[in-house]
Amino acid sequence: MSEWLASMGVELDIFPHLITLLIAYVLALPIAWDREKNERSAGLRTFPLVAIAACGFVQAAETVTVGNAEATARIVEGIINGVGFIGGGAILVGKLGTRGTATAASIWATGAIGTAVGLGAYDTAIVLSIVTFATLRIMANFKAARDESDDGG
């Protein structure tokens, strides 16, 4: 099959893309685990999918955006808007208040992780992953302490 594709002028260089997508996937897992562990509306399936989709959009557009920062910026802008829309679906407003904002923000951060990996900014993606996960874990302790003091206990 690859010979036939080569005769048509199609080159498949799948391995580098698989590695890049795997990196985006792995960097999203700690965030996904945290949300799943805390029984949030999005979890182990959603976060890695958001990361690899954002990464995949950047990779798929590479052939038409090479050397054109403006075109790349438009792709990234579309990813930001699309991921924001998905995150908006995680927010629930009810009589008792608003829920899901941390999950929505985490989805947005995961989209940024995937985008950074797709753009080759691995250092940024790693920092985003660590800081997002740490924020979810550390701030949960402060929130729990605050909630206990509000309840009188």
d(CA 38, CA 68): 42
E strand intervals along 68-124: 92-94, 97-99
Identify whether the C-beta of residue 57 lies closer than 8 Å to the C-beta of residue 135: no
Amino acid at 59: Q
Q: pLDDT grade, residue 79 (50/70/90)?
A: very high
pLDDT value, residue 12? 76
Q: Which residue has the higher pLDDT, 12 or 144?
A: 12
Rounded average pLDDT over 94-112: 87
d(CA 84, CA 74): 15
Identify whether the C-beta of residue 53 lies closer than 8 Å to the C-beta of residue 114: yes
Beta-bridge mates of residue 125: none
| pLDDT of residue 3 exceeding 80 | no
| pLDDT of residue 61 exceeding 80 | yes
Rounded average pLDDT over 68-82: 94
